[in-house]
A and B are shown apart, each in its own frame.
Chain A
Amino acid sequence: MGFGTEPSGRYTVPAAGTRVRDVVRDVVAEIAAEELPLVEGLTRLDDATVVRRLGRRRQRREPLGFGMGELASLATPVIWLAVNQAAQRFGETAADGAAKGAKAALRRILRRRAAPVVVPALTQAQLAEVHGQILASAAQRGLGETRALAIADAVVARLALTETVGPAAQEGV
């Protein structure tokens, strides 16, 4: 597994770790291939937008909209949010929240896209935490136990393949 590249080719490939979107794409391709078009669409947006909007509990009710209700078996939001959360918690940028917020605001004003979020290599304990997190999140979103387990296993397996880099990832427990 290597680093993914964007169609636009505008992203900088990080020196270490794996981009969240690449983890998501790989996992979805493995366990929910029918959702790949959705992932393709999500990768056109920056991570902050994706996380903000996937994290919304309720969809806006539009006039002239038509929906059959929330799709119970959608794996992509669960995977993306969980991997992103792992990146935020265990990644090296976790500490400088205020500076990050200011930069994000500036980027939004200048309409510049942020660099994709990268998830570092995780320890066994961290991977176990991510596994538990996915099971809880999947249950909350109405996914069945078997499906939730399959997703969690696939994510953890994919994250375990990420190269180990520097002490930051090691100390992030």
Chain B
Amino acid sequence: MTASPPRLRLDERAVSAGTTVRFALLLVLLLVSGSSMIISVATRLQPSRDLDGFGCELAAGADPLHAGDLATVAVAAAQKAAYQSCVDRYGALPPWWLAAAAPLLLLTAAGLVFALLPLRKARRGRVVPLAAVDRDGGILHSLTELSATAGLSRPPRFVVDPTAATVGAVVFGRTGRATVCLHGGLLAHRTTDPDGFRAVVLHELAHVHNRDVSLTYFTVALWRVFVALALLPELVVTLREFTGRDTTAWASEAPGATRRLLLTVVMVALVHLARSDVLRSREIYADLAAVRWGAAAHTWAVPDPAPPTGRAGRAWASFAGLWRTHPRWDLRRESLTDPAALFAVRALPMLLTGAAAILIDVQSADQLGNYVATGRWARQALASAPAGLVTGVAGIMLWRAVVHATATGRPAPAGVRAGLWLGVGMAAAELVLDDLTGHRWLPERPEVMLLLVLAGVAFGWWVTSCARLWTAVWQRPTVRAAMLLCLAAASLAMSAWFFWWQGEGTALATGWPTNPAATYHFGNALDRAAPTQPLMALQTLSDGPVALPAVAALWGVPLLAWAVRPAPGQATGGALPSLRRLLLAAAGGGVLGWAGFVAVMAGLHGGQPTTGDAWSILTATYFLRTSAALVLAMAAAAAIATASAGRHRLIAAIVAAESAAFVAAAGMFVLASAEGCVRPLSVVVQSCVWRPGPTWSEFRYLLGPVLVAGAGAAFAVAAVAAAIRRVRRPAPRRRTAAGRTGPARFGVPARRVGIGVLCAAAAASTWLGPSAQAEGSPRPEVAPDLPVVSAETRAMQVTAWTMFGGADLLHRLIVVTTGFGTLLQEGNGRVDTEKVRPFCADIAEFARTAAAYLRIPDPSAQDQWQAGITQAEQSGRDCTASVDGEDGKLLAASFAELLTADSTLNSAYTRIVEVAHAGGL
């Protein structure tokens, strides 16, 4: 029999606990979700002016009650300005002040409850002052001593609950003015078990010392306010929708209503589980502090209830344990000697964090997007909040696990499983929100949600890899600076990810094509050309304001680890993969990129077209293939680098891939600039001219998306390499964590110069900026053909068109025509031109407004409507000209034209009435 070696122990304070940021995540979630529910309830309680949100969609010619969301969005988007104008006028958008007042209301009410909670807990009849039971002052003396032991400059207030028979205590109030309530059982126990008394009091003082009190009770206060002001009203209004539903629209409304109901359940579960999880870890921190201050560890020898037998019983006990705010006693006892539980990365907090991040991201964007956050930077700023919080929570957890594993010699987690749970949480949260699904149960393309899971995996893997890299070289007593550096990079990446997901990702999941022109058969030949769609998709990757800085940080921050001066006796960067090998891999990839580019040029040589469209298509093909060559070169560099990087393979892959991009791009740039000089390779330039300027503008357009796509390729290559390694597990032999490290060839100065050059390249890449197209003018709106619908739906559409703007326009026309006619009639041949001029302006304005409004969802009526508008435009022009030229005949003609326009437009209306009748309305 052999004795197991003593387990190394890491002080739980060695790395930031990260619980404050977990509380912050909960508070932000409650605030955002609560505000969202308040606004939603207020909006739904208003009398609907927009047929429950369908009015403008019907008026635009969509069929929201039967067709999919994509078709509805497509029809609405084809008349974006007119549709938006309809929604602005008739839609149920709540007033801006409500969006501002809702969070303020929640915060104020929570502040009030927070202030009242300690008063309620310490009210007369519930507790008694300590002095009432401490005639000789002996208890107070002990408590004052214990407060000094806990390092509290100002002891908390002590009260007694004599009716509580437990040997316990509880702290409440706020950190600066905490109240510790001693239970009657504890006081009775004091003389018979002074160790127990000391342990309980020190544990409560540890909560004060650890600043748990304010955070815990503010979370409790905000939760109660959230339930009272947001959750219950939301539940009532949603249930009312279920009971008093309109059967016509219910099929379309049921998914949304069900999801709203589900969201209330999810919020309750999420907040309870997350809060209990944080509190359980805070309990262990308080236990450890109490023991450090001299509490007897044997006090924790409290038996747990007997574990249940049977699988179901154990599963239930495990599930019930997730909801408790206190850990099991056996875990608490174990943590006193080995606080490994505080460093573990568990699935539940990761899942909850992912879900909370998406709930915050989507709901805050919905809430503020309608009022302030419409620009790119504003949207990016909104995305930064959940990104920062999710990185703070999940990133610190992963870092703690790595530091603990490194210090105690245990295997470090890979971060993939943790990231998987994070991603699953994000994907699950999307399913209870409306932004992907609209009127459907599932998104049009549910498979796109896998991207959320992959993003979580990538996050977990990268953060863990970065932590492993830095802890391998870090020499200082605490890893705080290195951790902050890595987490800042991860936060930037998550921020870029949330921006992309909110814009492109959700559009992709809802089924919106990257290139609508190709799907709906409008636009020019280039729009419909095969290379356009992938090229446009590629372009979206670097459209976000921080997409390129994020990529630069993902490889720049780990790269800095090679510049750290080694510990005495250790080779430079000895614990890391060889930097020289990484650079060689990058060079190899770069050379492959040149070869690929030569192949692209040779392949396209000789196909110089003559027409403009064909020329554009050739250019698009050239760009797409060049981008592909660059990404493949980066992937090749990543593959070479992973071969010798051991457990640091992900970082090695990204660094090599991104470095290779610059090597490849440099060579390609030279080749492209001198394109016409090598005849077999000329594609668009025939003469031998050195043209670096135009080439740079092309490369600037290409490089940004390529750097993002190449980073993705590096992740994929590293994943494949890791999978291969798992399958072909080598014979067990001791290897260093870094794989083949070997002696370093470069000294510190040379290494730092090299890293400086690469970091400068990374920094410079962030200036590549978004493509010209992203900032360019919007595409002209071109309407797709009206979808074929039933007579009933067509009737609803034309009626909606009349209700939502059409009737108003006709009324305006009648007012103008009548007024103008009266003026001419009363003038009896002599009319004051200044009195005519306003009518001319009104006619012209009517024509402009009518032309800008939604087209009538009936082709025949629309033709007449358009003809009437043209006649009104002519009337307005003639009217103005007649006044300017004091031409009476022209004035009479303009009035005649107005009457014609009136007649034509009324014919359109007659047709609308016919269509409505035909559909049973």
Given A44-B128, A64-B171, A64-B212, are A37 and B134 also a contact pair (CB < 8 Å)?
yes
Task: Report which of B161, B185, B196 forms a contact with A74, defined as CB distance below 8 A.
Answer: B185
Given A45-B163, A69-B302, are A38 and B132 also a contact pair (CB < 8 Å)?
no
Collect the chain B residues with CB atoms within 8 Å of residue A68's CB: 166-168, 196, 200, 299, 302
Q: How far is the CA of A71 from the CA of B165 in the complex (A)?
A: 6
- Total interface residues on A, CB under 8 Å, equals 33
Task: Report which of A32, A53, A64, A66 forms a contact with B163, defined as CB distance below 8 A.
Answer: A53
* Segment among B186-194, B454-462, B513-521 that sits at the interface with chain A: B186-194
| A145 vs chain B, min Cβ distance (A) | 20
A67 and B166 contact, CB distance less than 8 A: yes
| B921 vs chain A, min Cβ distance (A) | 59
B163 and A54 contact, CB distance less than 8 A: yes
Collect the chain A residues with CB atoms within 8 Å of residue B125's CB: 45-46, 49
Say if the beta carbon of B135 comes within 8 Å of chain A. yes
A40 and B200 contact, CB distance less than 8 A: no
Q: How far is the CA of A45 from the CA of B166 in the complex (A)?
A: 18
Task: Report which of B128, B135, B183, B279 forms a contact with A67, defined as CB distance below 8 A.
Answer: B183
Nearest-neighbor residue (CB-CB) of A71 within chain B:
B185
* Most-contacted residue by chain A among B171, B212, B217, B275 (CB, 10 A): B171
User: For window 3-61 of chain A, which residues contact chain B by CB distance below 8 Å?
Assistant: 7, 32, 34-35, 37-42, 44-46, 49-50, 53-54, 56, 59, 61
Task: Report which of A7, A50, A59, A64 forms a contact with B172, defined as CB distance below 8 A.
Answer: A64
Q: Binary interface profile of B, 44-68, with partner A (CB < 8 Å = 1, else 0)?
A: 0000000000000000000000000
Collect the chain A residues with CB atoms within 8 Å of residue B217's CB: 63
Nearest-neighbor residue (CB-CB) of A28 within chain B:
B188
Nearest-neighbor residue (CB-CB) of B135 within chain A:
A40
Q: How far is the CA of A37 from the CA of B213 in the complex (A)?
A: 27
A41 and B133 contact, CB distance less than 8 A: yes
| A38 vs chain B, min Cβ distance (A) | 4
| B906 vs chain A, min Cβ distance (A) | 71
A66 and B279 contact, CB distance less than 8 A: no
Given A42-B163, A45-B128, are A64 and B188 also a contact pair (CB < 8 Å)?
no
Q: Binary interface profile of B, 175-203, with partner A (CB < 8 Å = 1, else 0)?
A: 00000000111011111100010001001
Q: Binary interface profile of A, 105-118, with partner B (CB < 8 Å = 1, else 0)?
A: 00000000000000
Say if the beta carbon of B644 comes within 8 Å of chain A. no
Say if the beta carbon of B160 comes within 8 Å of chain A. yes
B168 and A34 contact, CB distance less than 8 A: no
A-B contact count (CB 8 A): 125
Secondary structure of the A contact surface, majority rule: mixed
Say if the beta carbon of A167 comes within 8 Å of chain B. no
Say if the beta carbon of A84 comes within 8 Å of chain B. no
Nearest-neighbor residue (CB-CB) of A32 within chain B:
B188
Q: How far is the CA of A59 from the CA of B168 in the complex (A)?
A: 10
A63 and B165 contact, CB distance less than 8 A: no
Q: How far is the CA of A50 from the CA of B125 in the complex (A)?
A: 9
Collect the chain A residues with CB atoms within 8 Å of residue B170's CB: 62, 64-66
Q: How far is the CA of A41 from the CA of B160 in the complex (A)?
A: 7
Say if the beta carbon of B794 comes within 8 Å of chain A. no
Say if the beta carbon of A162 comes within 8 Å of chain B. no
A61 and B188 contact, CB distance less than 8 A: no
Collect the chain B residues with CB atoms within 8 Å of residue A38's CB: 133, 162, 184-185, 187-188
Q: Binary interface profile of B, 128-144, with partner A (CB < 8 Å = 1, else 0)?
A: 10001111000100000
Collect the chain A residues with CB atoms within 8 Å of residue B207's CB: 64
| B602 vs chain A, min Cβ distance (A) | 70
| A112 vs chain B, min Cβ distance (A) | 12
Say if the beta carbon of B326 comes within 8 Å of chain A. yes
Q: How far is the CA of A44 from the CA of B133 in the complex (A)?
A: 9
User: For window 279-307 of chain B, which residues contact chain A by CB distance below 8 Å?
Assistant: 279, 282-283, 286, 299, 302
Given A68-B196, A69-B167, are A41 and B162 also a contact pair (CB < 8 Å)?
yes
Q: How far is the CA of A34 from the CA of B212 in the complex (A)?
A: 32
B162 and A77 contact, CB distance less than 8 A: no
* Most-contacted residue by chain B among A38, A50, A70 (CB, 10 A): A38
Given A41-B133, A41-B162, A44-B132, are A63 and B183 also a contact pair (CB < 8 Å)?
no
Given A34-B190, A61-B326, A66-B200, are A42 and B167 also a contact pair (CB < 8 Å)?
no
B168 and A42 contact, CB distance less than 8 A: no
Q: How far is the CA of A29 from the CA of B213 in the complex (A)?
A: 37
Given A59-B164, A77-B165, are A42 and B184 also a contact pair (CB < 8 Å)?
yes
Collect the chain A residues with CB atoms within 8 Å of residue B184's CB: 38, 41-42, 74, 76
Collect the chain A residues with CB atoms within 8 Å of residue B324's CB: 61
Q: Binary interface profile of A, 61-101, with partner B (CB < 8 Å = 1, else 0)?
A: 11111111111001011000000000000000000000000
Q: How far is the CA of A36 from the CA of B132 in the complex (A)?
A: 11
Nearest-neighbor residue (CB-CB) of B220 within chain A:
A63
A59 and B171 contact, CB distance less than 8 A: no
* Most-contacted residue by chain B among A37, A59, A77 (CB, 10 A): A37
Nearest-neighbor residue (CB-CB) of A48 within chain B:
B125
Say if the beta carbon of B273 comes within 8 Å of chain A. no
Q: How far is the CA of A50 from the CA of B161 in the complex (A)?
A: 11
Nearest-neighbor residue (CB-CB) of B276 within chain A:
A63
B168 and A66 contact, CB distance less than 8 A: yes
B166 and A50 contact, CB distance less than 8 A: no
A34 and B192 contact, CB distance less than 8 A: yes
| B196 vs chain A, min Cβ distance (A) | 6
Nearest-neighbor residue (CB-CB) of B160 within chain A:
A41
Q: How far is the CA of A38 from the CA of B135 in the complex (A)?
A: 12
Q: How far is the CA of A61 from the CA of B781 in the complex (A)?
A: 62
Say if the beta carbon of B898 comes within 8 Å of chain A. no
| B811 vs chain A, min Cβ distance (A) | 63
Given A34-B190, A64-B213, are A42 and B165 also a contact pair (CB < 8 Å)?
no
Collect the chain B residues with CB atoms within 8 Å of residue A63's CB: 216-217, 220, 275, 279, 325
A59 and B212 contact, CB distance less than 8 A: no
Say if the beta carbon of B69 comes within 8 Å of chain A. no
Q: How far is the CA of A39 from the CA of B188 in the complex (A)?
A: 9
| B117 vs chain A, min Cβ distance (A) | 11
Collect the chain B residues with CB atoms within 8 Å of residue A53's CB: 163-164
Given A34-B191, A40-B133, A42-B184, are A64 and B216 also a contact pair (CB < 8 Å)?
yes
| B206 vs chain A, min Cβ distance (A) | 9
Q: How far is the CA of A54 from the CA of B189 in the complex (A)?
A: 17
Q: How far is the CA of A69 from the CA of B200 in the complex (A)?
A: 12
Q: How far is the CA of A74 from the CA of B165 in the complex (A)?
A: 7
Say if the beta carbon of B204 comes within 8 Å of chain A. yes
Task: Report which of A40, A65, A71 forms a contact with B189, defined as CB distance below 8 A.
Answer: A71
Given A69-B166, A71-B185, are A41 and B204 also a contact pair (CB < 8 Å)?
no
Q: How far is the CA of A41 from the CA of B130 in the complex (A)?
A: 8
List 4 additional A-B contacts (Cβ < 8 Å) besides A38-B162, A56-B163. Answer: A34-B188, A41-B161, A66-B169, A68-B299
Q: Could you list some 27 contacts between A and B, CB below 8 A?
A: A37-B187, A37-B190, A38-B133, A40-B133, A54-B163, A54-B165, A59-B164, A61-B324, A62-B172, A63-B275, A64-B170, A64-B204, A64-B213, A64-B279, A65-B170, A65-B326, A66-B200, A66-B203, A66-B286, A67-B166, A67-B169, A68-B196, A68-B200, A69-B167, A71-B167, A76-B188, A77-B165
Q: List the 8 closest pairs (A to B, CB-CB), nearest first.
A: A67-B168, A41-B162, A53-B163, A65-B170, A71-B185, A37-B133, A38-B184, A67-B166
